Amino acid sequence: MPGCAADEAVRDDQLMQRFDSVGCDLVMGTAVRATIISHERWGVMAQVIGHETVGASVDAGVIDSPSGSPQARPEEYPPVGGQVDAVVQEINRYHPPAWIRLTMRAANLREFSWTCGCCGQLTILSPGGDGVTVDVRSSEGPGCASFAAHRSCLAGRLNPDFDGDRARVKAVGRDQPPPPAIGIGNQSPR
């Protein structure tokens, strides 16, 4: 039935429009807690606490191996049902479904770096580092292309006339507005 097909198309479109907004409150380099869901040959499936609707996984290559192997062996994975500290290594929103890749390497928990899309050198994405995540989206359709970049590299690529944009690239996340005053005047604290 044409009507039903049209309805279906609208619903599909709405679903497609939403998938890249999932997990938008996570950024590469964010420290999280995650629950281990299952053991797989290639690593573990996980659930990020507070983001249980988004799929997540940790490759064996970014799980420390107590025996010194380059990647953790299945018997070295953290137990199913256990909680671990992890860092967001990648959030793939290019194709649905959105997917979070985590790293559990102790070195990454201390400091997480990724290659800068401008200069090709490593940039630190942990808080206090010199890097940012660039999310690229289009009005033509859903999906988000992401890459990491040094703040300075990205600002340097912008037209020198765009002073405001360059300043914001260097300050975003650091330049926090003051928290709203609570309990002052007529504003309700909630």
Q: Which is nearer to Zn ion, 52 or 165 (CB)?
A: 165
Total chain residues near Zn ion (CB under 5 A)? 5
116 sits near Zn ion (criterion: CB under 5 A) = yes
- Which alpha helices (H) appear in 19-162, and where do they start and end? 106-110, 151-157
- The three-class DSSP label of residue 113 is strand
Residues with Cβ within 8 Å of residue 69, at least 6 apart in sequence: 76
Piece of the chain touching Zn ion by CB under 5 A; list 53-61, 83-91, 118-126, 133-141: 118-126
Piece of the chain touching Zn ion by CB under 5 A; list 9-17, 34-42, 51-59, 147-155: 147-155
| Paired strand residues for 59 | 43
150 sits near Zn ion (criterion: CB under 5 A) = yes
Structure tokens at 188: 């309700």
**Class of residue 17 by CB neighbours under 10 A (exposed 0-12, middle 13-18, buried 19+):** exposed
125 sits near Zn ion (criterion: CB under 5 A) = no
153 sits near Zn ion (criterion: CB under 5 A) = yes
Judged by the rule CB under 5 A, the positions of this chain that interact with Zn ion are 116, 118-119, 150, 153
